[in-house]
Structure 1
């Protein structure tokens, strides 16, 4: 009769050495935890009630075709301009909301828009700064809030029904219903 003998094999791996957390790592962890736990700003994240989850309308199809066929635009610029075509007439979005959807940065979004060869048909004028200011237009930033390019951006938005407060900031919640 055979008797089963069980033997415990000794663990030969070295004991785990606890890693020390540096002061920089602790500060980073504290800052990122605080940012995650903070309530999100409704100004940036809440899409407008009338324009949520809006794919580009049929009126934007010619512009989408032009964007796709452009040999001079980079793939990233094409993504930015296609996303911009989703912003409905009479609404604005922000560089930050577009960047969040693209997994990019607001500055990269602005740089892609400054090279928009199809403006104003591809409506880069519908993108404003996070605080509601107009931001730049056609790759130029205003001096003291004035400039011919900002006047043009203001005129295009006014024609679409966008309104401002007394400080010159766009009123309403920015569009964020990108698909």
Structure 2
């Protein structure tokens, strides 16, 4: 399988992707919770060996983490602090689709670290969902990213000044 490196300059989805009006409406309807979880320091044990991975059951779903989910998590783990990537960039690297990447990340039992799924945005640089929730937990995701140095506008989109300089797509 050929791995694709996606950079801000080479990505087809990055240049000229228009802001989605649907995303703006979704963000406007989101309900800000009374308490915001902005934890970006808690590190959970991440199974490294094949044996450990086979034995691990997610505390969130009580099911084994699939091989594909581990592939997504291994790629997401590479996104550095203060940077972001997109579901599509990860999908391109893995040879899959953005929705299946989003589905895997929505089940991430290793958040916030070592698998920083909060650092993954939509192709139009919208905040996107978090933990499978687009109604209130997006404020958790936004708070985590702001704590790491990213900034968003009032519609939930990454500030234009950071879109290219903070993009990460050079996965191994």
TM range (shorter): 0.5 to 0.7
TM-score (ref. length: structure 2)? 0.62
CA distance in 1, matches of 2:66, 2:48: 15
TM-score (norm 1): 0.60
1:112 Cα deviation from its structure 2 partner: 0.4
**Number of positions where the alignment pairs a residue of Structure 1 with one of Structure 2:** 121
CA-CA distance at 1:172 after TM superposition: 1.9
Matched, 1:157 2:145: yes
- Post-superposition Cα deviations, 1:39-74, rounded to whole Å, max 9, x if no partner, equal 964726xxxxxxxxxxxxxxx9x6363896334100
Report matched runs for 1:92-131 at 5 Å.
92-121=84-113, 122-131=115-124
Q: Which has the higher helix share?
A: 1
Q: Does 2:58 correspond to 1:65?
A: no
Q: Which of 82, 87, 101 in structure 1 is aligned with 2:74?
A: 82
Contact map agreement 2:85 2:121 (CA 8 A) in 1: yes
**Paired position in structure 1 for 2:163:** 172
SS of the equivalent of 2:48 reads helix
Structure number with the bigger relative contact order (C-alpha 8 A, sep ≥ 6) is 2
Alpha-carbon distance between aligned partners in 2 of 1:136 and 1:42, rounded to the nearest angstrom: 19
> Runs of 4 or more off by more than 3 Å in structure 1?
39-42
Match of 1:53 in 2: none
Relative distance call for 1:87 and 1:116 in structure 2 (3 A) is same
Where in structure 1 are there 5+ consecutive unaligned residues?
1-38, 45-59
Contact 1:64/1:82 (8 A) holds in 2:
no
**Residues 119 and 66 of structure 1: is their aligned pair in 2 closer, same or farther, counting only changes over 3 Å?**
farther
Which residue is equivalent to 2:26?
A: none
Are the counterparts in 2 of residues 96 and 106 from structure 1 also a CA contact under 8 Å?
A: yes
Superposition RMSD in Å: 2.6
Q: Which has the larger radius of gyration?
A: 1
User: Which of 125, 132, 138 matches 2:131?
Assistant: 138
